[in-house]
Chains A and B, each alone.
Chain A
């Protein structure tokens, strides 16, 4: 079924270069990889041809050597239900960008914002390109594999050392307190 769909996409969209990524294990799912520059045209074809009518989510994956955006499509048709994993890739970790599909599927509006927030992939012509789950002035993209949490945020320490839940740290604090108490008691006696 995926091979047929890939052939259809290639016939309809010039330069889509759709290829099926066959799952190595039979229990897993196969997907279709297309050229990143043609994603808008491919999604327009999927919608107009009726192959898929619902965009369920946009997921992003950081494979370190490339960033991958996975469009999770479904077909809500009681006669022939289906789902599709459509992928695009970019190797540019700084300025990786794709065209938005929020004009075709309004569901993509929030999903693309989330993908940008979490993975740092940009979407051209997006109507409201902001972060969605993290604060607007947060630094870094949490779901990247090389993500390091920022030390300070608006003057607050993100992981304050004194509040880390470490048993040995608590033990040291307690020893300090005991020592202090002993010194105070000795001072009183003198």
Chain B
């Protein structure tokens, strides 16, 4: 665009009048993401800042949208399992189990006891791996690099076990309708037990290094506080809801699988540092849940007995006319699968809706952001631990 003084014939020259010039004091729009390392994937948040203070945050989603719900309408019930793997790719086992449980509920399948126990074991191992990832990346967000390396070291051992038993490191396709695909032999189970024995002291190291670290507490305590009522209104679940002090865990409150047989506690934020509902409490809920998962896996190893790992399932799965809404407790919150079948003529679902916990948590960012510093907003995004594969589906 041409300036006034560039027009030929104009004699007016630019002058800076210090008296009349006023500094612009309106809000600055800043784009965070989608290629920002602290947004855990391809989240774009448009933030309006007043100097260093965030006035508003608007999440823009859809950069990873694959419309898997539409894909699933053209796939048979077994073919959908690899697709649900790709929702929350850091907790594929939990995704698989929720979907498979929805199909099994409509089919009325009985799952053998050994398969149920193996499911609980794999899902709890997956929960540890997922929480380790959350721990490592959260510390990374706040400027600490070393915990990330420690966390990945331990996570790698879990992935090795999964790789041996399912053939894949991230997207397993391991939990099948009626049971599990592959059995764990005694040597592998011994390695699980050895891993837990070595890992438990490691977690204490994490607490010394990070949880009780003064700088970490300064960065996370009293930051991004949400009340229980806000959590319920926004539909938050998992560590976000428990971090606010609401004792709710589907494994305990509406037990599925064989969870009612297990002895474990539901961890809630207790305000040991900061106030209940802040970033530190959400973080510590995850770290304490790792301990609970270790407890559960130890009990599984005691209970395991030889037996079948696959129930009786027809070769071609056809579900009766109707619908179910199945919810399970995944590492990031409650995953819900709303499955509608049109009747036994069809091999494909009529509609599959995924209720994603991360999608819900992302919708809370506009609530949490106002009044925070930009650096604190990074801490807030990290503390709700989102995976964009699940947000965008």
The answer to whether A155 has its CB under 8 Å from any CB of chain B is: no
By beta carbon, the residue of chain B nearest A74 is B327
* Contact status B338-A59, CB under 8 Å: yes
- How long is the Cα–Cα vector from A5 to B130 in the complex, in angstroms? 39
Given A72-B336, A72-B355: A24 and B320 interface contact (C-beta under 8 Å): yes
A116 CB, nearest partner CB in chain B, Å = 13
B300 CB, nearest partner CB in chain A, Å = 25
The answer to whether A83 has its CB under 8 Å from any CB of chain B is: yes
The answer to whether B235 has its CB under 8 Å from any CB of chain A is: yes
* Contact status B247-A78, CB under 8 Å: yes
* Contact status B235-A54, CB under 8 Å: yes
Given A110-B359, A143-B70: A28 and B324 interface contact (C-beta under 8 Å): yes
- How long is the Cα–Cα vector from A23 to B108 in the complex, in angstroms? 15
- How long is the Cα–Cα vector from A109 to B65 in the complex, in angstroms? 19
> Which single member of B65, B233, B322 contacts A27 (CB below 8 Å)?
B322
Residues of A within 8 A of B62 (CB): 132-135
The interface bits of chain A over 1-45 (1 if a CB of B lies within 8 angstroms of the residue's CB, else 0) are 000000000000000000000011101110100000000000000
Interface core residue of B67, B323, B338 (most chain A CB under 10 Å): B323
- How long is the Cα–Cα vector from A139 to B29 in the complex, in angstroms? 28
> Which single member of A25, A57, A70, A133 contacts B392 (CB below 8 Å)?
A133
- How long is the Cα–Cα vector from A172 to B331 in the complex, in angstroms? 49
- How long is the Cα–Cα vector from A114 to B69 in the complex, in angstroms? 12
The interface bits of chain B over 246-263 (1 if a CB of A lies within 8 angstroms of the residue's CB, else 0) are 111000011000000000
The interface bits of chain A over 47-87 (1 if a CB of B lies within 8 angstroms of the residue's CB, else 0) are 00000011111010110000000101010101001010100
* Contact status A59-B334, CB under 8 Å: no
The answer to whether A46 has its CB under 8 Å from any CB of chain B is: no
By beta carbon, the residue of chain A nearest B66 is A133
A29 CB, nearest partner CB in chain B, Å = 5
* Contact status A107-B363, CB under 8 Å: yes
Residues of A within 8 A of B106 (CB): 25, 27-28
Residues of B within 8 A of A27 (CB): 105-108, 320, 322, 324
Residues of B in contact with A, size category: 35 or more
* Contact status B360-A110, CB under 8 Å: yes
Residues of B within 8 A of A72 (CB): 325, 336, 338, 355
The interface bits of chain A over 128-148 (1 if a CB of B lies within 8 angstroms of the residue's CB, else 0) are 000011110000001100010
* Contact status A85-B325, CB under 8 Å: yes
Interface core residue of A23, A28, A61, A134 (most chain B CB under 10 Å): A28
Residues of A within 8 A of B367 (CB): 106
The interface bits of chain B over 50-84 (1 if a CB of A lies within 8 angstroms of the residue's CB, else 0) are 00000000000110010101100000000000000
Given A56-B355, A105-B235: A76 and B323 interface contact (C-beta under 8 Å): no
Main DSSP-derived SS at the A contact region = loop
* Contact status B254-A81, CB under 8 Å: yes
* Contact status A54-B324, CB under 8 Å: no
B338 CB, nearest partner CB in chain A, Å = 5
The answer to whether B332 has its CB under 8 Å from any CB of chain A is: no
The answer to whether B264 has its CB under 8 Å from any CB of chain A is: no
> Which single member of B108, B232, B338, B393 contacts A54 (CB below 8 Å)?
B232
- How long is the Cα–Cα vector from A148 to B69 in the complex, in angstroms? 16
* Contact status B248-A61, CB under 8 Å: no
- How long is the Cα–Cα vector from A135 to B61 in the complex, in angstroms? 9
- How long is the Cα–Cα vector from A62 to B73 in the complex, in angstroms? 12
* Contact status B351-A78, CB under 8 Å: no
* Contact status A143-B69, CB under 8 Å: yes
The answer to whether B362 has its CB under 8 Å from any CB of chain A is: yes
The interface bits of chain A over 80-108 (1 if a CB of B lies within 8 angstroms of the residue's CB, else 0) are 01010100000000000000000001110
Given A85-B325, A133-B65, A134-B65: A56 and B353 interface contact (C-beta under 8 Å): no
> Which single member of B247, B322, B334 contacts A24 (CB below 8 Å)?
B322
The answer to whether B340 has its CB under 8 Å from any CB of chain A is: yes
Residues of B within 8 A of A74 (CB): 327
B313 CB, nearest partner CB in chain A, Å = 15
* Contact status A106-B234, CB under 8 Å: yes
A28-B322, A29-B324, A53-B232 are known; give 20 further A-B pairs, CB within 8 A.
A24-B321, A25-B106, A25-B321, A25-B322, A27-B322, A28-B106, A57-B338, A57-B355, A61-B350, A70-B353, A76-B246, A78-B248, A81-B254, A85-B323, A107-B363, A132-B62, A133-B62, A134-B62, A143-B67, A147-B70
Q: Which residues of B contact A (CB under 8 A)?
A: 61-62, 65, 67, 69-70, 105-108, 232-235, 241, 246-248, 253-254, 320-325, 327, 334, 336, 338, 340, 350-351, 353, 355, 359-360, 362-363, 367, 392-393
25 interchain pairs (CB within 8 A)?
A23-B322, A24-B322, A25-B106, A25-B321, A28-B106, A28-B321, A28-B323, A28-B324, A29-B322, A56-B235, A56-B336, A56-B355, A59-B351, A61-B340, A61-B351, A62-B351, A70-B338, A72-B338, A78-B247, A78-B253, A85-B325, A105-B235, A114-B359, A133-B67, A142-B67
Task: Please give me the 5 A-B residue pairs with the lowest Cβ-Cβ distance, nearest first.
Answer: A28-B322, A107-B235, A57-B355, A59-B353, A25-B320
